[in-house]
Amino acid sequence: MDSQKDKKVFYVTGASKGLGLCLTNQLLKNGFYVASTSRNKEGLIKSVDEEVRNSINFLPLQVDVGDEHSVQKSIDETISKFGRIDILINNAGYGIQGATEEFSESDINVNININLKGVLNTIRCALPHLRANKFFDDGPRIINISSIAGRFCNYFPGFSVYGSTKFAIDGLSLGLRIELKEFGIHVSTVNPGYFRTCFLQKDVLVRPSKVIKEYTLVNKSKEYHDSELNNKQPGDPEKGATAIIKFALLKNPSPMLLLGSDAIRYAKMRMEEIEDSIKTNIEISLSADYDE
């Protein structure tokens, strides 16, 4: 394969729609090597822009990120075609909204399987190749697409189950950042706000079959997302993808990228709440140390 150092090899999960599809199209149009995954390979190929879907730089892969063997096979195919992975972008996700009490164990397991286990599977399978990668002078990267519903899920009634997996991704990424530092591997999260993708569409965002009417805040939140926010989200997915690529190629990407004006607004609100919590409980907090 071409060994030009500016032609990085990207591995992108969840690429058949939304930010993942925008990333795939933009990366291919900019001449990068791209291995993109989806549960439906043919659907992925059809979704990619016609001008680049047949590019020799494009490797479409059918992958179930919750299945380690499926992920490993796709990583092996990527290495076979491109020789390495420079930037891993974990974008595959499973949207779910409802009160925690409303969800079945099966609903919760699917959410965890894709949003958390899928990320762990991809990272674990890719790490031997990322650690061995001496091609990228500034070090390979792992970019995990999280959400404002992770660290800031207290602002979104009905996203506690979804937010729990995204919060876990934030924690995983912070831990991995120090764990992989000695190998020169950068680990970051991208925490998007609301983007005008299909995420809120009724055939995409999963809702529980059981509805408990007493959860008035959750039910109002469902209605708001359906009637007021869907198709009116402030984030432009094409601009979002451009920003993610720019961030991924920085010499030293920071631990977190808040993506979108709403993401920044919620982060500032949360920072104020944490500061207030520290001040309110300072005496109780400090009372737990040994008297030395």
Tell me the whole-structure pTM to 2 decimals. 0.94
Q: Which residue has the tokens 């926010």?
A: 229
Average of per-residue pLDDT values in the chain: 94
215 is a catalytic site residue = no
pLDDT at 150 (0 to 100) = 87
Contact 117, 64 (CB under 8 A): no
Residue 30 token pair: 């900019």
Cα separation, 259 vs 197, in Å, equals: 14
**CA 96, 102, 103: angle at the middle one, nearest 5?**
50
pLDDT for the residue 1: 43
Stretch (H or E) spanning 37: strand 33-38
Q: What digits encode the pLDDT tens for the residues 9-38? A: 999 999 999 999 999 999 999 999 999 999
75 neighbors 61 (Cβ within 8 angstroms): no
Which residue do the tokens 């001449």 mark?
31
The yes-or-no verdict on residue 208 having pLDDT over 70 is yes
Copy the structure tokens of residue 281.
């409980």
CA 164 to chain centre: 13
Domains of the chain from N-terminus onward: 9-261 (3.40.50.720)
Which entry of 11, 162, 194, 266 is annotated as an active-site residue? 162
pLDDT digits (tens, 9 = 90+) for 64-93: 999 999 999 999 999 999 999 999 999 999
Q: Are 191 and 147 in contact (CB under 8 A)?
A: yes
Sign of the CA dihedral running 105, 107, 112, 118: positive
pLDDT tier, 2 (very low <50, low <70, confident <90, very high otherwise): very low
